[in-house]
């Protein structure tokens, strides 16, 4: 290995979005093209390259977001944020290159579909938005003892922060928790404060349900089976729109209309 | 009777009604109560037959005074019957809504005791929801033909959408297949609701505080294939409804034989293809500036099942084609098969800069597969076949057949996914 390599740097940030924005800000400011940008948890000791640990700076991150908005587009900023939520390997570098191009060509960056990194950022962002839209429908709240509502999810992507505003608008008079079991975090909303917060919440957390809850769940299952038209069964389409990976936390049982007889 | 049993009977009885596929936005929900209405429409589940579940779709009761031949709930049909109470429906709606099972309620009903009695029950239900439960989610309510319009109007001030199902596309068929309903009058309440919506819009401009009346509009459903009307009669009726009664949507439902009645035709299966063509034609009326009288003319009573109504129209008006994309006006571009509003707008914009060639159109990501037969660019015609009606017809029919086989499994449900497909 030549000393040349040693000049190339690996940026290490704390894994947060602000952290990533800080890292990107510094790279652009110092005209440095990092060889990798990694979150602490993904970082394994690296013998070949020099490492640079980024200290998250909220002001710098905010400033940089403004720059992106003004010099590229709001759309680009959204794409970056949503792509970040995909937690996919190498996404930081795709974003870096996307921005590099963005600062050169402005809002037209999203038209450069022949560039791999532009496509990657857009695709990842799209996947995250798509899952978030799906979950707006598929999340199932359950009434816990004490009148709070609780939902468990295991999304592919880190979508809670995209879901929170939607559920805040819809269930503004209820107290609720949406719990991402995979990432062991949760959005918790209080009707009194009208605010939501992202908190850590261990996987095993499970509230006790209210007495009425099973009754309502039975009613929903009954409704779900009853509304399927038997001679038009089409499980393929059902699965296409509601993939099996989400069934675990549904209340209804896809396929259950088969055994349903009214008379 | 147990609530669950009622729910099974009364959701089963409502499931054939398609006139509620999306919940429109009406800007309810100010965070002081439960829920809001979303413009994009959200599916909360998919049934085993692949349809989107968005609303709690139920009948208030399926006890019916009437004997409409095409309906499973008609009085002479032997089947399980049930009725909800207003509070049961309200509570069920709120319970489901709070758990994020549904976007809202779609409440319809058979006519029990009298039209007024039934309408009163529906009105009480929505009053409970809005006032007692402080529910601000979506409500689509059926208006009962023959009920006092005062009741209908009061309900209209509380719900988002209302509908009266015409069901049969002509007076004659109504007379024959649904005589009691015909007497009760279907068009009268539709006209009243239409006028109510129009006045309300004017009044709300004047007085900001004025309550909203049916803010998400009114719709209706027509059954296709249970009676002998032609496609031409059906789309003329739809056009009349859009023009005169302020309708937001007309839904078409392929007749699914549910009863044995000597008055009904024996069909091999529901005429789904025909239903699909009617939806396409309906689209042309609403967004493409076509008149019903252009799409079908006396003597040409039904749509071609092999090609879509727009292509059909173009082939019957071949003298208007090919269209020169560099000079044709926007309205004419819109009439080219394969060119939609977005492509037409793109063309109009781009040709200000330079004369367009086929290559330019492709670069602009305008799909020329079908349009090619009907356009020239700078006088150049690029379809590899002669400009003759029969040749183009068979090419288009082939392309459509290919596409249909690709989407075969989903086509009959397409109508109910409108809001998912139209992003
Ligand atoms: S009025 Fe006619 S269509 Fe309506 S439920 Fe009764 S029988 Fe059926």
| Residue B12 belongs to domain with CATH number | 3.20.20
Task: Let me know: does B322 contact B375? Beta carbons within 8 Å.
Answer: yes
B71 CB near ligand 1 (under 6 Å): yes
Integer angstrom CA distances of residue A217 from A235, A248, B101? 22, 14, 10
Whole-angstrom Cα distance, residue A239 to residue B260?
34
Task: Let me know: does A151 contact A141? Beta carbons within 8 Å.
Answer: yes
Give the atom of ligand 1 at the shortest distance from the alpha carbon of B62. Answer: 5
Q: What per-residue string of b and e applies to B28-54 under the rule 16 or more CB within 10 Å gives b?
A: bbebebbbbbbeebbbbbbbbbbbbbb
**Residue A89: other Cβ atoms inside 10 A:** 10
Task: Let me know: does A172 contact A194? Beta carbons within 8 Å.
Answer: yes
Judged by CB atoms closer than 8 Å, whether chains meet at A237 and B413 is answered as yes
Judged by CB atoms closer than 8 Å, whether chains meet at B101 and A143 is answered as no
pLDDT at A75: 95
**In this structure, are A218 and A190 located in the same domain?**
no
Task: Let me know: does A25 contact A63? Beta carbons within 8 Å.
Answer: yes
Task: State which residue of chain B sits closest to A243, comparing Cα positions.
Answer: B46
**In this structure, are A106 and A59 located in the same domain?**
yes
Judged by CB atoms closer than 8 Å, whether chains meet at A228 and B412 is answered as no
Distance B68 CA to ligand 1 centre (A): 6
B182 CB near ligand 1 (under 6 Å): no
The structure tokens listed for A228 are 């399927």
**In this structure, are B113 and B216 located in the same domain?**
yes
ipTM, 2 decimals?
0.91
User: Of B223, B247, B270, which marks where a domain is finished?
Assistant: B270
Give the atom of ligand 1 at the shortest distance from the alpha carbon of B75. Answer: 7
Backbone phi and psi for residue B144, each to the nearest 5 degrees, phi listed first: -90, 120
Judged by CB atoms closer than 8 Å, whether chains meet at B46 and A255 is answered as no
Judged by CB atoms closer than 8 Å, whether chains meet at B45 and A232 is answered as no
Phi/psi zone of residue A147: left (φ > 0), alpha (ψ -120 to 50 degrees), beta? Answer: left
Q: What are the residue ranges in chain B where pLDDT is below 50?
A: 20-23, 407-423
pLDDT at A143: 97
**In this structure, are B86 and B228 located in the same domain?**
yes
**In this structure, are B252 and B342 located in the same domain?**
no
Of B32, B50, B134, the CB nearest to A237: B50
B181 CB near ligand 1 (under 6 Å): yes
pLDDT at B58: 95
B232 CB near ligand 1 (under 6 Å): no
User: Of A75, A102, A131, which marks where a domain is finished?
Assistant: A131
Is residue B143 one of the residues assigned to a domain? yes
B115, B203, B116: which is closest to B157 by C-alpha? B203
Is residue B277 one of the residues assigned to a domain? no
Q: Which residues of A touch B50 (CB under 8 A)?
A: 232, 234-238, 241
**In this structure, are B256 and B401 located in the same domain?**
no
**In this structure, are B226 and B338 located in the same domain?**
no
**In this structure, are B318 and B243 located in the same domain?**
no
Give the atom of ligand 1 at the shortest distance from the alpha carbon of B59. Answer: 5
The structure tokens listed for B295 are 């799409």
**In this structure, are A105 and A70 located in the same domain?**
yes
Using a 10 angstrom Cβ sphere, with 0-12 exposed, 13-18 middle and 19 or more buried, the burial of residue B168 is buried
Is residue A206 one of the residues assigned to a domain? no
pLDDT, tens digit (0-9, with 9 covering 90-100), for B379-390:
888 888 888 888
Task: Let me know: does B17 contact B164? Beta carbons within 8 Å.
Answer: no
**In this structure, are A42 and A110 located in the same domain?**
yes
Is residue B363 one of the residues assigned to a domain? yes
**In this structure, are B16 and B77 located in the same domain?**
yes
**Total number of domains constituting chain B:** 2
**In this structure, are A107 and A47 located in the same domain?**
yes
**In this structure, are A90 and A29 located in the same domain?**
yes
pLDDT at A260: 53
Q: Which residues of B touch A138 (CB under 8 A)?
A: 44-45
| Strands (DSSP E) found in B155-284 | 161-163, 218-224, 247-254
Runs of H (alpha helix) within A30-176: 58-71, 74-85, 91-105, 116-138, 160-170
The structure tokens listed for B36 are 């809001």
Is residue B284 one of the residues assigned to a domain? no
- Cis check for the bond before B167: say yes or no (omega within 30 of 0): no
Q: For strand B138-142 and strand B161-163, is the pairing parallel, antiparallel, or unpaired?
A: parallel
Under 8 Å CB pairs connecting chains A and B tally to 141
Give the atom of ligand 1 at the shortest distance from the alpha carbon of B167. Answer: 3
Segments forming the whole domain that contains residue A237: 211-249
Judged by CB atoms closer than 8 Å, whether chains meet at A173 and B53 is answered as no
Give the atom of ligand 1 at the shortest distance from the alpha carbon of B72. Answer: 8
**Total number of domains constituting chain A:** 3
Contacts of A224 (CB under 8 A, 6+ apart): A252, A253, A256, A257, B45, B47, B53
Judged by CB atoms closer than 8 Å, whether chains meet at B101 and A227 is answered as no
Contacts of B384 (CB under 8 A, 6+ apart): none
Q: Which residues of A touch B420 (CB under 8 A)?
A: 241
B255 CB near ligand 1 (under 6 Å): no
**In this structure, are A145 and A164 located in the same domain?**
yes
Whole-angstrom Cα distance, residue B14 to residue A254?
20
Is residue B296 one of the residues assigned to a domain? no
B234, B217, B334: which is closest to B282 by C-alpha? B234
pLDDT tens string, chain A, 263 residues long: the values are: 444 555 788 999 999 999 999 999 999 999 989 989 999 888 877 677 888 899 999 999 999 999 999 999 999 999 999 999 999 999 999 999 999 999 999 988 988 888 889 989 999 999 999 999 999 999 999 999 989 999 999 999 999 999 999 999 999 999 999 999 999 999 999 999 999 999 999 999 999 999 999 999 999 999 999 888 776 778 888 888 899 999 999 999 888 876 655 43
**Residue B4: other Cβ atoms inside 10 A:** 15
User: Of A131, A158, A177, which marks where a domain is finished?
Assistant: A131
Using a 10 angstrom Cβ sphere, with 0-12 exposed, 13-18 middle and 19 or more buried, the burial of residue B138 is buried
**In this structure, are B246 and B115 located in the same domain?**
yes
Distance B179 CA to ligand 1 centre (A): 11
**In this structure, are B147 and B261 located in the same domain?**
yes
**Residue A198: other Cβ atoms inside 10 A:** 14
Alpha-carbon gap: B365 to the closest alpha carbon of chain A (Å): 12
Is residue A261 one of the residues assigned to a domain? no
Contacts of A26 (CB under 8 A, 6+ apart): A11, A32, A54, A60
Interface test with B, best of A174, A229, A236 (most B CBs within 10 A): A229
Task: State which residue of chain B sits closest to A138, comparing Cα positions.
Answer: B44
Runs of H (alpha helix) within B224-324: 231-245, 272-287, 292-295, 309-316
Segments forming the whole domain that contains residue B105: 3-270
**In this structure, are B313 and B258 located in the same domain?**
no
Of A218, A226, A233, the CB nearest to B11: A226
**In this structure, are A148 and A40 located in the same domain?**
no
**In this structure, are A13 and A38 located in the same domain?**
yes
Whole-angstrom Cα distance, residue B162 to residue B213?
10
A128, A152, A156: which is closest to A139 by C-alpha? A152
Q: Which residues of A touch B100 (CB under 8 A)?
A: 137, 139-141, 151, 167, 170-171
Supply the DSSP string of A186-207, one letter for each residue.
EEEEETTTTEEEEEE--TT--P
Judged by CB atoms closer than 8 Å, whether chains meet at B48 and A257 is answered as yes
Is residue A31 one of the residues assigned to a domain? yes
Q: Which residues of A touch B32 (CB under 8 A)?
A: 172-173
**In this structure, are A10 and A107 located in the same domain?**
yes
**In this structure, are B206 and B339 located in the same domain?**
no
B186 CB near ligand 1 (under 6 Å): no
Residue with tokens 């990798």: A36
B66 CB near ligand 1 (under 6 Å): yes
Whole-angstrom Cα distance, residue A168 to residue A146?
20
User: Of B270, B298, B319, which marks where a domain is finished?
Assistant: B270
User: Of B241, B270, B299, which marks where a domain is finished?
Assistant: B270
Task: Let me know: does B60 contact B84? Beta carbons within 8 Å.
Answer: yes
Residue A165 forms contact with B (CB below 8 Å):
no
Is residue B300 one of the residues assigned to a domain? no
> What residues 21-40 of chain A have any CB closer than 8 A to a CB of chain B?
none
Q: For strand B323-324 and strand B247-254, is the pairing parallel, antiparallel, or unpaired?
A: unpaired
**In this structure, are A13 and A106 located in the same domain?**
yes
Is residue A254 one of the residues assigned to a domain? no
**In this structure, are A215 and A119 located in the same domain?**
no
Is residue A256 one of the residues assigned to a domain? no
**In this structure, are B85 and B221 located in the same domain?**
yes
Judged by CB atoms closer than 8 Å, whether chains meet at A219 and B35 is answered as no
């Amino acid at each position: 290995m030549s000393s040349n390599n040693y000049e190339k740097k690996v940026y290490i940030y704390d894994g947060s979005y602000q952290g990533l924005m800080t890292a990107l800000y510094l790279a652009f400011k110092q005209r440095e093209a990092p060889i990798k940008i990694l979150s602490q948890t993904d970082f394994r000791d690296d013998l070949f390259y020099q490492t640079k640990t980024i200290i998250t700076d909220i002001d710098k991150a905010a400033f940089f977001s403004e720059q992106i908005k003004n010099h590229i587009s709001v759309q680009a900023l959204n794409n970056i944020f949503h792509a970040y939520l995909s937690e996919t390997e190498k996404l930081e570098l795709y974003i870096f290159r996307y921005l590099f191009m963005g600062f050169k060509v402005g809002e037209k960056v999203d038209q450069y579909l022949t560039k791999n990194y532009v496509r990657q950022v857009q695709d990842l962002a799209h996947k995250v938005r798509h899952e978030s839209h799906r979950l707006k429908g598929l999340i199932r709240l359950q009434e816990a003892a004490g009148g709070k509502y609780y939902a468990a999810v295991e999304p592919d992507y880190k979508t809670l922060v995209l879901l929170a505003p939607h559920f805040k608008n819809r269930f503004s008079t209820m107290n609720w928790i949406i719990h991402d079991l995979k990432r062991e975090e949760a959005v918790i909303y209080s009707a009194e404060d009208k605010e939501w917060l992202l908190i850590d919440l261990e996987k095993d957390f499970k509230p006790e349900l209210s007495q009425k809850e099973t009754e309502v769940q039975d009613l929903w299952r009954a409704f779900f089976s009853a509304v399927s038209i038997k001679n038009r069964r089409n499980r393929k389409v059902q699965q296409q729109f509601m993939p099996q990976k989400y069934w675990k936390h549904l209340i209804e049982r896809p396929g259950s209309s088969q055994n349903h007889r009214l008379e | 009777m147990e609530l669950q049993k009622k729910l099974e009977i009364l959701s089963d009885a409502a499931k054939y009604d398609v006139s509620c596929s999306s919940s429109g936005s009406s800007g309810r929900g100010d965070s002081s109560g439960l829920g809001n209405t979303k413009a994009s429409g959200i599916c909360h589940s998919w049934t085993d037959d692949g349809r989107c579940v968005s609303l709690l779709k139920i009948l208030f009761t399926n006890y019916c005074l009437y004997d409409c031949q095409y309906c499973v709930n008609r009085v002479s049909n032997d089947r399980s019957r049930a009725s909800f109470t207003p509070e049961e429906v309200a509570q069920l709606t709120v319970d489901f809504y709070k758990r994020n099972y549904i976007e809202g309620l779609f409440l319809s009903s058979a006519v029990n005791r009298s039209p007024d009695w039934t309408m009163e029950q529906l009105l009480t239900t929505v009053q409970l929801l809005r006032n007692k439960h402080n529910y601000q989610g979506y409500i689509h309510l059926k208006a009962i033909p023959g009920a006092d319009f005062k009741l209908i109007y009061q309900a209209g001030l509380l719900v988002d959408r209302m509908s009266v199902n015409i069901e049969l596309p002509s007076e004659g068929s109504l007379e024959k297949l649904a005589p009691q309903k015909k007497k009760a009058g279907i068009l009268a309440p539709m006209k009243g609701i239409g006028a109510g919506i129009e006045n309300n819009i004017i009044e709300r401009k004047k007085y900001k505080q004025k309550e909203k009346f049916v803010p998400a509009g009114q719709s209706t459903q027509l059954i296709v294939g249970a009676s002998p009307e032609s496609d031409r009669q059906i789309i003329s009726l739809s056009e009349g409804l859009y023009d005169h009664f302020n309708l937001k949507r007309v839904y078409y439902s392929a007749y699914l034989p549910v009863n044995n009645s000597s008055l009904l035709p024996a069909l091999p299966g529901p005429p789904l293809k025909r239903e699909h063509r009617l939806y396409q034609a309906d689209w042309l009326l609403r967004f493409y500036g076509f008149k019903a009288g252009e799409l079908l003319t006396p003597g040409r009573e039904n749509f071609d099942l092999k090609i879509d109504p727009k292509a059909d129209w173009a082939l019957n008006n071949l003298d208007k084609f090919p269209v020169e994309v560099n000079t044709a006006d926007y309205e004419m571009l819109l009439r080219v098969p394969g060119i939609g509003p977005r492509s037409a707008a793109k063309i109009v914009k781009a040709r200000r800069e330079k004369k367009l060639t086929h290559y330019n159109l492709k670069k602009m990501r305008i799909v020329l597969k079908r349009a090619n037969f009907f356009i020239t660019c700078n006088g150049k015609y690029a379809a590899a076949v002669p400009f003759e009606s029969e040749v183009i017809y068979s090419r288009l029919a082939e392309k459509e057949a290919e596409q249909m086989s690709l989407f075969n499994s989903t086509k009959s449900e397409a109508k109910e996914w409108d809001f998912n497909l139209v992003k």
